[in-house]
Structure 1
Amino acid sequence: MCSAIEFFISNHNDLHPGLARELYALRKKTFHERLEWKVECEDNQERDQFDNANTTYLMGMLEGKLFCGARFHALLMPNIRQ
């Protein structure tokens, strides 16, 4: 049996707090734990200065669980650490 991934988009300001926690925890698992990148983690979540009002997220749900996500910024916005 095949399951479909349901994709949706959310602006940072409209992201439900529970879904935000799930997204940031998934990012911690991916970037900090699996890839061993030196990223900012707190409360079992990976988030940084680019998670702000200028951020749009594309997320995918599989069988009611967050499966994947990507973060987008307008090219005119700062995208490097100061």
Structure 2
Amino acid sequence: MAETERTAVLLVDSYTTKCSRCRLGAFTADTSHDRIATGWDTPDPRDRPCGARFVAISTVRLEYKVDRLNEIRPDLPAYEAGKTPRGLTT
């Protein structure tokens, strides 16, 4: 049986972006979590990106609105903080 494709939401913050699946740093331009962005700290060398495909962009910051998220990634559906639909990721 084939493994189900893993999906995740790109979570944008003021200075960092993370993958919703593994919570490690991600690059906003990537379509999948294939490399780790460092943000403000040094990543553990044992950390590995989870490989999930990004299916949406969202944020944890209430002041970030959909228009701003669409500027960052116009190819992904954008959701304000707390508005991401349940079951969007696998």
Q: TM-score range, shorter-chain basis?
A: under 0.3
Give the TM-score of the pair, scaled to structure 1. Answer: 0.26
Give the TM-score of the pair, scaled to structure 2. Answer: 0.25
In proportion to residue count, which structure has more strand? 1
